[in-house]
Copies of this chain bind each other. A is one copy, B any other.
């Protein structure tokens, strides 16, 4: 786990019985750290996003979106706006909802997939030290399995600022009474700031509530 992961996430993982090994995002490769641990322990790697089963599991959110719309007597979704780090959730949603357009939203400075889709090849993040509150979306670069799904399906890709993320978190706090972490609020942030061209039936993902109290308070306070 990155050494600057939210304390709450670290503690909750430990409480589930995990042995947590920390690494430095800026100077260490998590792939290399994991490979060394696996060599020592004969463990099995379950990659956070670059894995077909993980992608399939995240895609179940898309199946639920379809079912919930159906129970409301609606068709679709026509468009899914997805929070995007390594591209696991976005790829899963794309595969689960073959008739939906997919919009991906990344935090400012961590928009490697948007740039990769534009370039037609996988590009890494430019600056691993670029500050962001969206720790869950700080992926250095995507994997071919994610890229191959997304390159054929993503119709819009935008990045959002901290101020836009904070405004979305505040709206969710005030109107939905939910706690969403910064990285889980980027899709809504993009919609609220008018950066996404909506379709008649648009679904927006809110994913993850692992945010330390201090960070939550700070972002809510600075929200417009």
Contact = CB atoms under 8 A, between A and B. Distances in A.
A29 B128 CA distance: 61
Nearest to A213: B220
How many copies of this chain sit in the oligomeric assembly? 2
Contacts of A180: 177
A26 interface: no
A209 B177 contact: yes
A206 to B, nearest CB: 10
Taking residues whose C-beta sits less than 8 angstroms from the other chain, chain A's interface range is 10 to 19
A36 interface: no
A37 interface: no
A174 B217 contact: no
Nearest to A172: B179
A38 interface: no
A209 B178 CA distance: 9
Interface string A190-213: 000000000000000000010001
A45 interface: no
A221 B214 CA distance: 9
Contacts of A220: 213, 217
Nearest to A15: B175
A211 to B, nearest CB: 8
14 contacts: A8-B174, A12-B175, A173-B179, A173-B213, A173-B216, A174-B213, A177-B179, A177-B180, A178-B178, A178-B179, A179-B179, A213-B221, A217-B217, A217-B221
Given A170-B213, A173-B213, A217-B220, 16 more contacts: A8-B174, A12-B175, A173-B179, A173-B216, A174-B213, A177-B178, A177-B179, A177-B180, A177-B209, A178-B178, A178-B179, A179-B179, A213-B220, A213-B221, A217-B217, A217-B221
